[in-house]
Chains A and B, each alone.
Chain A
Amino acid sequence: MLELLGHQLLTGLFRSSYYWLIASGLTLIFGVTRVVNFAHAAFFVLGGYIALTVDILTGNFWLSVATSTIAVGLLGMAVERGLVKPLYRVESLYQLLITFAVTLIINDASKLIWGAASRSMKIPAELALPVKIAGRSYPLFFFFIIATAVAVFILLYIVLEKTFWGLKVKSTWRDVSMAQALRINTGRIYTTTFFIGSLLAGFGGACMVAFTPVAPGLGDSLIITAFIIVVIAGLGNLIGAYVSSILIGVAESLFLLYLPELDILLIFVIMAVVLLVRPWGLFGEK
């Protein structure tokens, strides 16, 4: 019994790391620019597709991860510069709509390029090594993803809290016009944030494609999960987003053990409760 629980906890942690890799960029971009990047999960899936293609061409997992990280990061930057930027001045409704349009375009474009069937790639040999814990064996990939998620968290924390650039980002986060008055180039901060956020999406997507197959439209359900995680934490709260990723991931994993039929409902129930009790999120400010 205890062993089973431990197993569920570990898979829960893995699932949480998967969620965090999507939610981190989403909440970062929202925190700084106040734009909910609807296309974020589509970027994530696109990252998977790009990694897949590079892997087929070169057979090198690490190269494919690097390529897709950079490519998706640049795409995110291009989308911000070309499409979102002209709409900062008008109502926020339009910023959400434009990223929604980008999602639709990416969905169908990836269907055209990579086909409608779901595609996956093999876990690279060095990460497929089995690791034995309490009689069960897990691929090293499991721990690689969990460690990566922690690394992303620490890295984001250091960049935002310990660097001067992070200070500029945080002041933009707090008050844009005040930051501008201090001669902070907020336009560039916005673009860089989009770049970093999309970079994370591309990186996460590329890592995860070795585990979950990608298909056009996969992003549709991922963006909902990611958004719910971010909402539960409080929009724009990075530390909270990591905690609530773990909360949701582990809860889902344990729930799966007892009530597998209702797994899709759990996250909605948690969300509804949080919104009714603490609408500003578990870690958000009122």
Chain B
Amino acid sequence: MGLVWRKIVDVVAIIILAVAVLFTRDTFLIYLMSLFMIFAIFALSYNIILGYLKLISFGHSLFFAAGAYGVALSSKLAPPDMLLSFLFGIVLAAVLSVTVGYITLRHSQIYFAMLTLAFAMLFYALLIKWRDFTGGSDGISGIPRVSVLFSFPTTESYYIFVLLCFTVAFILLKLIDESFIGIVFRGLGDNENRFKFLGYNPVKYRILALMLSGTFSGLAGTLYALLYRAVTPDIAYWTVAAEPLVMSLLGGSAYFLGPVVGAAVFVGITTAAARLAEIWQLIMGVIIAALLLGVRGGLLGVLERLWQKRF
């Protein structure tokens, strides 16, 4: 029981800390924290594919954008209700991830990486070309944050909603991580042949993993769209899928908390060095190359070696 209690104390402490941010009344800080939590969900969900299954997806921008456009489109076409469009975004991402998984996951790793990229590009092209429906390259703006039950007019009030979603997503993903399914996923990533010998069907579990991953990426996308109250097709471009990849590698994809640490560092760097936005891809490329050749364990791997403590 002691261990469970310690975990609960940890979680409560972090939530109190997160709520404390609200009392600073610093809108920019609150906005940054929201952004961090959204990217942390995105990176955590991405790491199901990268860390457990040892697959690379260049297509997670598709699920992220599906969530975001799900919110935007349903608020434009249906009677706008935030909760409804929020759910619609997540469901849309889940459906798309199963569809993509069904086509791409029957083949080897390389097929998966390149084909998810192809699907992401297809989705991006559709968003741009299908102007009447998606607003083309202008996107859709003016997404309301109002529901029958509640409304979040300001960034501060919306922060509470993001915090709630983050906490729920974090706990769910942690449960998956520690449950039977998490172990099965890792086993599949470590050795597919042994996995098959044990009588499991690798394709089935891969599709399940992609569905979980895509759904949580969709959640991150819906939160992102509601944060800016607008969407543009840029978020469907495949370089967006490279961001959670960099975050996971940066923090350490072998650790559950790796992506969260990575997301914090990532949001920190992008904010501190906004002027570097011009050469942002270059920096990401250099970071990936350095991580791959130098420290494949990421930041948590380095810390682990320094402190001789397991995360």
Which residues of chain A have a CB within 8 Å of any CB of chain B?
A: 36, 83, 86-87, 90-94, 96-98, 100-105, 107-109, 111-112, 220-221, 224, 227-228, 231, 235, 261, 264-265, 268, 271-272, 275-276, 279
Say which residue of B114, B121, B129, B286 sits within 8 Å of A101 (CB atoms): B286
A269 to chain B, nearest CB (A): 10
CA–CA, A204 and B62, complex, Å: 31
Q: Does B200 contact A (CB under 8 A)?
A: no
Q: Which residues of B contact A235 (CB under 8 A)?
A: 110
* Stretch of B2-10, B261-269, B289-297 contacting A (4+ beta carbons < 8 Å): B289-297
Contact yes or no, B285 A105, CB < 8 A: yes
Q: Does B109 contact A (CB under 8 A)?
A: yes
Known contacts A101-B289, A105-B289, A268-B119, then 6 further A-B pairs from the complex at CB < 8 Å, ordered by chain A residue: A104-B242, A104-B282, A108-B278, A231-B114, A261-B129, A275-B111
Q: Which residues of A contact B25 (CB under 8 A)?
A: none
Q: Does B76 contact A (CB under 8 A)?
A: no
Contact yes or no, A87 B114, CB < 8 A: no
Q: Contacts A104-B282, A104-B288, A105-B282; is A264 near B125 (CB within 8 Å)?
A: yes
Q: Contacts A36-B114, A96-B110; is A108 near B285 (CB within 8 Å)?
A: yes
Q: Which residues of B contact A231 (CB under 8 A)?
A: 111, 114-115
Q: Does B113 contact A (CB under 8 A)?
A: yes
- Best-surrounded residue of A90, A91, A105 (most CB of chain B within 10 A): A105
Contact yes or no, A224 B107, CB < 8 A: no
Q: Does B302 contact A (CB under 8 A)?
A: no
Say which residue of A92, A94, A105 sits within 8 Å of B286 (CB atoms): A105
Question: Which of B25-64 touch A at CB < 8 Å?
Answer: 54-56, 58
Contact yes or no, A227 B118, CB < 8 A: yes
Say which residue of A97, A112, A264 sits within 8 Å of B56 (CB atoms): A97
> What is the total number of residues of chain B having a CB less than 8 Å from a CB of chain A?
38
By secondary structure, the B interface counts as helix
Question: Which of B100-130 touch A at CB < 8 Å?
Answer: 103, 106-107, 109-111, 113-115, 117-119, 121-122, 125, 129
Say which residue of B54, B117, B281 sits within 8 Å of A107 (CB atoms): B281
By secondary structure, the A interface counts as helix
CA–CA, A83 and B286, complex, Å: 12
Contact yes or no, B121 A228, CB < 8 A: no
Q: Hey, what's the 0/1 contact readout for B270-301 against A, CB within 8 Å counting as 1?
A: 00000000111110111011001100100000
Say which residue of B107, B109, B125, B296 sits within 8 Å of A279 (CB atoms): B107
Contact yes or no, B117 A224, CB < 8 A: yes
CA–CA, A19 and B111, complex, Å: 19
Nearest-CB residue, chain A, relative to B284:
A104
Pairs across A and B, CB under 8 Å, 22 listed: A83-B289, A83-B293, A87-B292, A93-B56, A96-B113, A97-B56, A100-B58, A101-B284, A104-B242, A108-B281, A108-B282, A112-B278, A220-B238, A227-B117, A227-B118, A264-B125, A264-B129, A271-B118, A275-B103, A275-B111, A275-B115, A276-B103
- Best-surrounded residue of B103, B115, B245, B296 (most CB of chain A within 10 A): B115
CA–CA, A224 and B292, complex, Å: 24
Nearest-CB residue, chain B, relative to A261:
B129
Contact yes or no, A93 B109, CB < 8 A: yes
